Amino acid sequence: FLIMSRLLNFISILIVVAAFFYRSFCPHNQAEIELPHLSGSVKIYYDEHGIPHIKATDRKTGAFGLGYAHAVDRLWQLHMNRMISQGRLSEMFGELPVDFDKSLRLLNAVNNCEVILSNMEKEHQEYLQAYADGINAYVKRNPLPLQFYLIWTDFHSWEPIDSCTYLKFMHFQLNLNWNYELTRDYLTAVIKDEDLVNQILPILPEQSDEVTYTMNDEELKEFGWYKNAPKQGFNSRKAKASTYKSLKKNAQKDVGINAQHIKGSNSWAISGKHTKSRKAILANDPHLSNGVPSFWHASKIEYEDGTYVVGSATPGIPAHGSFS
């Protein structure tokens, strides 16, 4: 009986611990959260898909709600985004990531962001602070996710500079020709002849990764990319493959040798003449690799003035990068 009693006690403890951690990182489906804020109120509810809908008084309270939602769903990701972008992984994992941290600190993101924030308009500073306040409000109310306990680390208050440094890190990640630029700078320093460097490593518009096409409806039709589309429409796998090959062929022809490595985004503006509400619609679709956890976090923010934004933001940055 003594053994059985101890076993039951042990199982009970395991259940309590499991429930504690489950509560800390399970999706808050259909939960409703009301949050006080200095400039208004914020209400967050989660739909059946686990997507937060944020109802806010104004932009600042919306940022507060978005920060809270990011902390609910992605607190560990927020923590890692900050530690990576500031070159601080060694604080958690010891000597292994020291070289990586050194390379990130060469970007001098923290000092650069201090200058940026000090020169930023007050309205934007308050917006970033409201987002940080939302993250910190969640942390004060709730236990940390399991990952923090596994490696025995803590979450320190989020600050506007953390959002700025992560944004700087994103810029670095998405700069596809930084190694080319560094090579040019090195050659310029050694050769001290910019004209000769331009002959050796020229920067040509057609070889740049920053190529943007802007087309209206008529130009899209004239371009002819879709004129040979299969009759069965674009829903079939064969039709999609055919269209993709056509687009890639034209891109390689128009852009040049870098076409096979191109990464880009789609931005769409639809005139109010074509919408039921008679209001214009702006949509953006950035193309980034999949990951776990996802780079994006879907949400919807509705404001009292009737405007709203639906799309995905990156945890750590109070802005929707993929939206409609």
pLDDT at 113 over 70: yes
Name the range with the highest mean pLDDT among 14-18, 46-50, 163-167, 286-290.
163-167
Token pair of 286 as six digits = 């950035």
Q: What is the CA radius of gyration of the chain?
A: 25
- CA-CA distance, 22 to 16, in Å (whole number)? 10
- Higher-pLDDT residue of 32 and 268 is 268
Amino acid 243: pLDDT: 53
Amino acid 260: pLDDT: 45
- Higher-pLDDT residue of 172 and 218 is 172
- CA-CA distance, 166 to 138, in Å (whole number)? 20
Q: What are phi and psi of 226, to 5 degrees?
A: -105, 5
Q: List the one residue out of 23, 62, 69 whose CA is nearest residue 46.
A: 69
| Model confidence pLDDT, tens digit, residues 258-291 | 444 455 666 778 888 888 888 888 777 777 777 7
pLDDT at 121 over 70: yes
| 29-172+289-323 carries CATH number 1.10.439.10 | yes
With 0-12 CB in 10 A as exposed, 13-18 as middle and 19+ as buried, what is 42? buried
- pTM equals 0.72
Amino acid 256: pLDDT: 46
pLDDT at 208 over 60: no
User: What number is the average pLDDT over the span 41-63?
Assistant: 90
- Higher-pLDDT residue of 186 and 218 is 186
- CA-CA distance, 98 to 25, in Å (whole number)? 29
- Single-letter amino acid code for the residue at 199: Q
| Model confidence pLDDT, tens digit, residues 213-223 | 666 667 766 66
> Which residue shows structure tokens 């939960």?
31
Asked whether 206 and 256 are in contact (CB, 8 A), the reply is yes
pLDDT at 253 over 60: no
Amino acid 68: pLDDT: 93
